Amino acid sequence: MTLEQAQAAVDEWIKTVGVRYFNELTNMAMLTEEVGEVARIIARRYGEQSEKESDKNKDLGDEMADVLFVLICLANQTGVDLTKALEKNLEKKTIRDADRHKGNEKLK
């Protein structure tokens, strides 16, 4: 699925199952909540925190998909074409960071 297809699929889901988009502020709060759930899994599973029994069956991919879903909702609501935005962002990073990371001793 492309980003364009994902944006269309989320929009169709919202219109047929979700009734309507939550407002942008609600979705921003939801995005923050979903990112927190991803952070919790990462901190406990890959970081130094002890994983709680209740977290052991959490699906990291599903939690990341929740983040992506809400991000796509926000993009749709605000008229952002994520394909174009990502292409532009990668171009910016490529130009800005062309040599930046090659000399970083921490990455070797």
Q: Where are the domains of the chain?
A: 3-81
Q: What does the block give as tokens for 41? A: 């899994």
Single pTM value for the model: 0.90
Q: What is the pLDDT of residues 88-103, one digit of tens each?
A: 999 999 999 888 888 8
Quick one: pLDDT band at residue 107, thresholds 50, 70, 90? confident
Q: What is the pLDDT of residues 5-53, one digit of tens each?
A: 999 999 999 999 999 999 999 999 999 999 999 999 999 999 999 988 8
Neighbours of 21 (CB within 10 A): 16
Q: Tell me which residue of 42, 39, 14, 43 sits closest to 27, measured CA to CA.
A: 14
Domain 3-81, CATH class in plain words: mainly alpha
